Structure 1
Amino acid sequence: MLVLLLQTIQWLFLTLLAVPVLVLLVQVVAACWAAARVVVLSEQRPRIAILVPAHNEAGGIGEVVAGIRAQLETGDRVLVVADNCSDETARIAREAGAEVTERRHETLRGKGYALDHGIGQLAADPPEVVIIVDADCYLGPQALATVARACMQNNRPVQALYLMHAPEGTGPMRKIAEFAWLVKNLVRPLGFQKLGQPCQLMGTGMAFTWQQISQANLATGHIVEDMKLGVDLAEADQPPLFCPEAMVYSFFPSSDSGVSTQRTRWEHGHLSVIQSYVPRLMVGAIRRGNAALAALALDLSVPPLALLVMLATVSCMISVVAWLALDLMWPALASIVLVMCIGVAILLAWSAFGRKVISLGELLSAFAYVARKIPLYFKFLFNRQVAWVRSKRDTE
């Protein structure tokens, strides 16, 4: 009886684990080999407003605004929301040529509230398209025009390619983090884009029609407000599109404290979204027969890559022990196959997209990177982060 119970638990866990593993593998294979979708954008460029939420960004806001203004045309605007700032963010942004609105509130803090405030300021003279760019992000060539045209032409939210780079001279752990980010923000959404499926919103490089963004529920303190907004829009039959032709980029903090704060917010937020929204989206997809909702639920079900590797490895070790001790062969073989699927997906992603980011030798040292993140996941179980916290910048 005990053996049967253990086997049932094993199969249940392996079934749940197989979903994100297979989604990852399908996305990577599609990104590598599926035919590219031909995107023909209209020549007509809509009037745009760039919304930049900023909290104590005096060290870099001037350069960011200058980069944005270089891509603006007549009638476009750039609005910086200096949110609860205690530095010179507002003054420097104005001197760089941006419109600036300052917001202060003792309790309602976070990016979502800043965005809501900015939309309220734009309402007096609404643009056709609003593009959100974080205050530490830089633009690739023609990024604004590309996402604006894609948004207007498809009448759907559009997410640009958002990359994070490791600072020069950093060690292999930062390079592994950059590769994991590349898989999450380029390889996986590209695979789903080639299969005609939506993507998650990534927080910056996001374009919306005025109607979409003005009706969205932005005023929340959600730890990953971008993921929540993507879910809300998908449930309103406006699933986001991925536009890899446009790029925004930023850099990981070089300090360990900055990386730790950033990683905790992203990963605790992602796990909270899996817990709260994936079942809801899947139920909604089944009830409405909505393939886009189902695809977004599957995409969201894939946890951070390090955690997925950790879960598959631990599951495999336990299953092999159970095989040797209790002759439970089939669960062990299934867990070995799942580990192999993750390995194949990672190597394919590295071969096609990651060679310039990290060497194969550095990639094979990733187990140390995974081990360093174990406390972060235990913290999620017992003391998870629920409030938005800004990461420390290198300019501070």
Structure 2
Amino acid sequence: MALFVVFTALYAYQIIYVAVALFHKKPMPMTAKQNHRYAVVIAARNENTVIGNLIDSIKKQKYPQNLIDIFVVADNCTDNTADVARRAGAIVYERFNTQLVGKGYALSYVLNQIAQDYGENTYEGYFVFDADNLLDENFVAEMNNQFDKGYRILTCYRNSKNYASNWISAGYSLWFLRESKYLNYPRMLLNTSCAISGTGFLIHNDIIRKNHGWKHHLLTEDIEFSVDNVINGETIGYCGSAKLYDEQPCTWKQSWTQRLRWSKGFYQVLGKYGKRLVKGFVVDRRFSCYDMFITIAPAIFVTLSSIIMNLIFMLSAFHGTTVNPLIITTTATSIFSSVANFYVILFVMGVITTITEWNEIHAKPAKKILYTFTFPFFILTYIPISIAALFKKIHWEPIPHNITKSIEDFEQPQNQ
């Protein structure tokens, strides 16, 4: 119970986030005074099935096409991703390096090539996408509106191409919807920093130049980028009207592999930046540093610690000449309460997100309702994944994508 109280205290500010997101009046939309020139950067490894649809959705943006150049880094590809991307209208760089593997290294390569071939100051900002993404037709224009206000890093509203596939894809999707609506949106309203989430973000050229391209190469290069920039005083903005769709894993094997990398990457970021984040909120009194520290802290271990402690007490009841039924009953009840408490918290989180984002979720109503019940189980599966990540040596591995929907598929009514 004491651990649950500690957990609640540490994360109580996120309840305020929910209240702010629910009750704050949406600000009036503003149109940018200037259309800026952007490079779109796509890291792709064996993505010939989906990359054409992403490029097509970029070509259909309601934004001057002469201000958008699309660059693809075909990274260690063994298929025809490069040819598909070229035919779709992208500028393609092919990279073959089996020693430095991962999205961070691919971004380093392509950004350096762009600077070399097109100049360091040709583009005012750089969009970064994964090959399986699709963009709403107003994506670039909406991000440009926020960029024009002075934000040097921006993230977007992350939706899913395959919410309805099964409970695993829905678990991912609901988490990202919740992150957009109830983390990044209130952060933006409260003038603290948001965090980018893997894809669909925009970086000012000044930051690219300062970093000499892309310098973040841990297993979760996105959260490393976010934490590093928050520590250095950047405020990451959010544009909820810029909508992106991406594909989520559907099999347990794919999900285990991906989340194992994420968990290990969070440990890496915590180890590398944890002290500086603590200094940021203890000494410099910067709330964004506290928020980022809580974001990368392994919260699932609070539940795990409670279960382990009670199991130890339960085993001790069997040790000796007599069995103490009171200890067994008490510890069993405590273990059940710990799991139940976190299930309820996660369920409420999922219900609130499902209700408010109902029209954004592309699934039949029955599945929307069903997957609010399975969402807590999806999150609780992080317990074994987090344990394995502590001991297992993990390398970056690509997740295959095969959902071949186009952006037009998401312009249809959602309840289908």
TM range (shorter): 0.7 to 0.9
Contact 1:222 1:388 (8 Å CA) reproduced: no
2:60 is matched with which residue?
Answer: 70
1:280-291 aligned at under 5 Å gives the runs 280-291=276-287
Q: Write out per-residue CA displacement over residues 43-69 of structure 1, whole angstroms, 9 at most, x where no aligned residue.
A: 311011101111111122222112212
2:245 is aligned, of 246, 249, 264, to 249
1:143 is aligned, of 133, 139, 142, to 139
Counterpart amino acid of 2:401? R
Contact 2:247 2:403 (8 Å CA) reproduced: no
2:233 is matched with which residue?
Answer: 237
2:408 is matched with which residue?
Answer: none
Counterpart amino acid of 1:76? I
Quick one: distance in 2 between partners of 1:257 and 1:342?
A: 23
Quick one: distance in 1 between partners of 2:256 and 2:378?
A: 13
**Is residue 383 of structure 2 the alignment partner of residue 383 of structure 1?**
no
2:84 is matched with which residue?
Answer: 92
2:97 is matched with which residue?
Answer: 105
2:162 is matched with which residue?
Answer: 166
1:364 is aligned, of 361, 364, 373, to 373
**Is residue 362 of structure 2 the alignment partner of residue 353 of structure 1?**
no
Alpha-carbon offset, residue 19 of structure 1? 4.5
Contact 2:156 2:244 (8 Å CA) reproduced: yes
Quick one: distance in 2 between partners of 1:200 and 1:349?
A: 19
1:55 is matched with which residue?
Answer: 45
- Range that drifts further, 133-142 or 122-131: 122-131
Contact 2:32 2:144 (8 Å CA) reproduced: no
Quick one: distance in 2 between partners of 1:181 and 1:43?
A: 31
Alpha-carbon offset, residue 150 of structure 1? 1.6
Q: Kindly tell me: are residues 243 and 395 of structure 1, through their superposed partners in 2, closer, same or farther at Cα, counting changes over 3 Å?
A: closer
Contact 2:55 2:89 (8 Å CA) reproduced: yes
Q: Secondary structure at the match of 1:40?
A: coil
Counterpart amino acid of 2:203? F
Number of equivalenced pairs = 380
Quick one: distance in 1 between partners of 2:93 and 2:305?
A: 48
Alpha-carbon offset, residue 225 of structure 1? 0.4
Alpha-carbon offset, residue 131 of structure 1? 0.9
Contact 2:167 2:371 (8 Å CA) reproduced: yes
Quick one: distance in 2 between partners of 1:202 and 1:261?
A: 18
Quick one: distance in 2 between partners of 1:185 and 1:129?
A: 22
Q: Write out per-residue CA displacement over residues 151-184 of structure 1, whole angstroms, 9 at most, x where no aligned residue.
A: 242142011112234355x333432332223223
**Is residue 231 of structure 2 the alignment partner of residue 208 of structure 1?**
no
Q: Secondary structure at the match of 1:136?
A: coil
Q: Kindly tell me: are residues 314 and 182 of structure 1, through their superposed partners in 2, closer, same or farther at Cα, counting changes over 3 Å?
A: farther
Q: Write out per-residue CA displacement over residues 40-94 of structure 1, whole angstroms, 9 at most, x where no aligned residue.
A: 3423110111011111111222221122122252142111111122211111111
Q: Kindly tell me: are residues 266 and 37 of structure 1, through their superposed partners in 2, closer, same or farther at Cα, counting changes over 3 Å?
A: farther
Q: Which 5+ residue runs of structure 2 have no aligned equivalent?
A: 318-325, 405-416
Q: Kindly tell me: are residues 318 and 389 of structure 1, through their superposed partners in 2, closer, same or farther at Cα, counting changes over 3 Å?
A: same
Q: Which 5+ residue runs of structure 1 have no aligned equivalent?
A: 1-9
1:120 is matched with which residue?
Answer: 112
TM-score by length of 1: 0.81
Q: Write out per-residue CA displacement over residues 327-370 of structure 1, whole angstroms, 9 at most, x where no aligned residue.
A: x9xxx8x9799756555444433433358565445423445435
Q: Kindly tell me: are residues 130 and 368 of structure 1, through their superposed partners in 2, closer, same or farther at Cα, counting changes over 3 Å?
A: closer
Contact 1:176 1:362 (8 Å CA) reproduced: yes
Counterpart amino acid of 2:60? A
- Range that drifts further, 141-150 or 129-138: 141-150
1:200-349 aligned at under 5 Å gives the runs 200-216=195-211, 218-274=214-270, 276-301=272-297, 303=299, 307=300, 310-311=303-304, 314=307, 325=327, 339=342, 344-349=348-353
Alpha-carbon offset, residue 226 of structure 1? 0.8
Counterpart amino acid of 1:70? K
2:413 is matched with which residue?
Answer: none
Alpha-carbon offset, residue 279 of structure 1? 4.4
1:147-158 aligned at under 5 Å gives the runs 147-158=143-154
Contact 1:148 1:207 (8 Å CA) reproduced: no
Quick one: distance in 1 between partners of 2:375 and 2:39?
A: 41
Quick one: distance in 1 between partners of 2:163 and 2:353?
A: 22
1:44 is aligned, of 31, 34, 42, to 34
Quick one: distance in 1 between partners of 2:312 and 2:146?
A: 48
Counterpart amino acid of 1:390? P
Quick one: distance in 2 between partners of 1:337 and 1:103?
A: 48
Counterpart amino acid of 1:88? N
Question: Equivalent pairs: percent with the same residue?
Answer: 22
Q: Secondary structure at the match of 2:238?
A: strand
Q: Kindly tell me: are residues 264 and 237 of structure 1, through their superposed partners in 2, closer, same or farther at Cα, counting changes over 3 Å?
A: same
Q: Kindly tell me: are residues 264 and 394 of structure 1, through their superposed partners in 2, closer, same or farther at Cα, counting changes over 3 Å?
A: farther
Contact 1:152 1:209 (8 Å CA) reproduced: no
